[in-house]
Structures are given as C-alpha cells and as structure tokens.
Amino acid sequence: MVKTSFDHHTGILHSTFDGNVTIVEIVEYIRATKNNSEYPRKLKILTDLKHAEMNFSPTDLNLIVEENYKSLERYTFIHNAIVVESPRVTAITMLYQELAKTNKYKFEVFSSREVALQWLVGQ
C-alpha cells in the first residue's frame, strides 16, 4: 500500500510504502504525483520504504524509470529522500538510482528518516 500526504508548511510530499508493494501501485503513485497540479513545481519528496516489501523484479525498474521521466515533464525539479531498512529494498533502490539519472531528478538513500529530512530541507 502507498499512502501520501502533503505538508503545506514545509512543502514536502510524504510518501509511505507499506507491506507488499506491487509495480502497479508504484506506477499509480507516480502518475498521481504527475497529475497533481497543486504540488510545487520544485517538489521535495520524503519516501519511507522501511516497512515495504517490493513485490516486483529488478527488471520492472525500467517501467518505473519510464513513468518517472513522464512525470518529470511536468516538474522543474524533484528531490527525493528515500528511507530504507531491508537489504533487498536497499539493493533495488541503489539499482534504480543508477537507471534514473537525469538533470531534473535527484535522490539520496538514507537509513534514518531524520537525516533524510535534514537533507531534503537543505535542497
């Protein structure tokens, strides 16, 4: 399951991925973010994957990258701080980081929500 909330005070989109997360849920989340015209065009996202089990294969990452590129067409820039805990999710996230290189999207991987938030606020 993917839950989101936007903090209007900080301008940060908080996204929490919980339990078994499928490729369909991730694509729906990306498309919803892309189509939300109320988010700032320089978007900051705090993504919490600490309690997520990614229920897709590493080859599905190409679909995620493709959807993110489509989303970036509607944004000036996206900073994403990703919090991970499990070794498998960390590995998938690091592989994604190599595939998703673009000048309009920067993300870092963290093991602590607090440090991730500090990085995001400084962007």
**Do residues 119 and 80 make contact, with C-beta atoms less than 8 angstroms apart?**
no
Question: pLDDT at residue 58 above 80?
Answer: no
Residue 81, pLDDT score: 96
Kindly indicate the confidence band of residue 16, based on its pLDDT and cuts at 50, 70 and 90. Answer: very high
- For tokens 């000036």, the residue is 76
Distance CA(112)–CA(123), nearest Å, equals 17
Measure the N-to-C terminal CA separation of the chain; round to a whole number of Å: 28
Q: Which parts of 20-112 fold into alpha helices (H)? A: 23-35, 61-72, 87-99
- Which range of residues forms the domain containing residue 104? 2-121
Kindly indicate the confidence band of residue 116, based on its pLDDT and cuts at 50, 70 and 90. Answer: very high
Average of per-residue pLDDT across 42-55: 93
The total domain count for the chain is 1
CA-CA-CA-CA torsion sign (14, 72, 97, 30): positive
Report the CATH number at residue 51.
3.30.750.24
